[in-house]
Amino acid sequence: MSILEISLFFQLLLNKIYPEALSGVTLPNSGEVGVYGANTAIIPSGAIQNPFKVLAYTAAPSDDKKFIIRLSSDGGSTHFLHMFERRDGNVGELARTLVLCDTIFKKGTEISGSIMSEVTDETAEVWLYIQEI
């Protein structure tokens, strides 16, 4: 498949963006280098009324340093995604990243996330792209 075909396929599957707003959910830093910040709800519990998959995310970091984002469906006890990101010189750059996860989440499942950064004050604004089943 070409990149264009994959892009078109992805767009056909895309059902919803959370939050559906110009501002994403801000995942805070811990204030310490190399320590995850607070686990923060991106899709609130009960928001989706059908089983669903997380297809991708978009992250806009507040700094141009390295960070790791992780996503959870159980309040942060375990994580279905750990992804290393780096935006050299591109503060606030929006980049869509595919989530290679075949998990189908039950309706009403909360999806939360947290980040760890190489600086103490970085945050990341995040949007999730989902497909309802």
Question: How many whole angstroms separate alpha carbon 122 and alpha carbon 86?
Answer: 12
pLDDT of residue 106: 97
Task: Quick: pLDDT tens for 65-95.
Answer: 788 899 999 999 999 988 877 666 555 556 6
Model-wide pTM > 0.75: yes
Fold of the CATH domain 3-132: Jelly Rolls (2.60.120)
Specify whether the CB–CB gap between 63 and 125 falls below 8 A. no
Question: How many whole angstroms separate alpha carbon 26 and alpha carbon 122?
Answer: 10
